[in-house]
Amino acid sequence: METKEKILFIINPVSGVGKQKAVERAIDKALDKSIFDYEVAYTQYAHQATQISRTAAQNGVSIVAAVGGDGSINDCVRGLVGTDVKLAIIPAGSGNGLARAMKIPLNIREAIKVINARKSICIDTISLNDTVYASIAGIGFDALVAKEFSKSRTRGFNSYFQIVASHYTMYKSCNYRLHIDGMKHRTKALFICFANSNQFGYNTVVAPSASLTDGYMDVICVKKIPFVLLPFVASMLFIKLFEQSPYVTAFKAKEVIVQNEGIAAVNIDGDYSEQEGDLRLKIIEKNLNVITP
């Protein structure tokens, strides 16, 4: 008799508010139990999924399925990078950026059916100082929005949009000193993002040419857009033309250093973070296995 593969579902009960039982029912109904033995673990505090997934990898689990938003998924990424264990994504967050970038269905049952097929690819990740992420990080206005969004009692695109609208006019662009693959760049920007995948979430494609498997990060420097032009330029995010805006400069890079004194506010896959000193970003090629359609 063939041994079944072990799969652990890690559910963030915060990002999937009200979805826990629905997720469990979907697993029971849609997962192919002829090939999988499964367990479910619920996180009880922030970033616990990193340790849970790391322990699962050490205990012979074949697949760790992250159920939640981009932040929850990234917690699992940190526990699985450099291992043979595959990450599966069950989108249950607000923006679901990595899931959308990888064409993973947003419907829970359909996402579980993707796991049944057991198709996977090996993707790049990016190290930022002493942490790792799979999708996208940003500094400047992007980080401010992430900070305010983390305080918001309501999730979803409307809440995100309201935060952007209420802070945009008052926010002052900052001067940045970058070393991009050893070349010095100075720029004044509203925000800069360092993209492995192409979008923040909600299909807002900030880095249309970004690829999870090309061995490069896309550095997107965005100047402050006059308020009257904002709707037009913002619409370019949804039709994958954002890099063509005159307010956007894009680079491909293996390594980036952002010179910084003091504390830098950073958005890492939707989670607000504070980093001390210079930001050192480096692409790590093909070190994360991910289940994909």
Q: Give the CATH number, domain containing residue 190.
A: 2.60.200.40
Contact 62, 85 (CB under 8 A): yes
Angle, to 10 degrees, between the axis of helix 70-80 and the axis of helix 48-58?
40
Angle, to 10 degrees, between the axis of helix 157-167 and the axis of helix 141-151?
130
Residue numbers of the domain that contains 259: 131-285
Instruction: Assign residue 108 the CATH number of its domain.
Output: 3.40.50.10330
Backbone phi and psi for residue 211, each to the nearest 5 degrees, phi listed first: -135, 145
Q: Which two tokens stand for residue 127?
A: 């190290």
Residue bearing the bigger pLDDT, 150 or 5: 5
Q: Which residues pair with 121 in a beta bridge?
A: 290
Q: Is residue 290 part of a domain?
A: no
Domain match, 275 and 226 both: yes
pLDDT at position 201: 85
The number of domains in the chain is: 2
Name the pTM for this structure: 0.93
Which residue's structure tokens are 């041994």? 3
pLDDT at position 280: 98
Distance separating alpha carbons of residues 47 and 263, to the nearest angstrom: 21
51-72 pLDDT, tens digit per residue, is: 999 999 999 999 999 999 899 9
Domain match, 114 and 136 both: no
Domain match, 142 and 268 both: yes
Give the rounded distance of the alpha carbon of 110 from its chain centre: 21
Structural domain ending residue among the three candidates 118, 144, 160: 118
Domain match, 75 and 166 both: no
Domain match, 135 and 114 both: no
Instruction: Indicate the range of 162-176, 243-257, 266-280 predicted with least confidence.
Output: 162-176
Domain match, 165 and 101 both: no
pLDDT at position 92: 87
Structural domain ending residue among the three candidates 92, 118, 144: 118
Strands 279-291 and 86-91, sheet pairing: parallel
Domain match, 197 and 266 both: yes
Domain match, 150 and 218 both: yes
Q: Is residue 293 part of a domain?
A: no
pLDDT at position 19: 67
- Indicate the average pLDDT of the chain: 92
Q: Is the predicted pLDDT of residue 194 greater than 80, yes or no?
A: yes
Identity of the amino acid at 138: G
Q: Is residue 69 part of a domain?
A: yes
pLDDT, mean of residues 137-144: 94
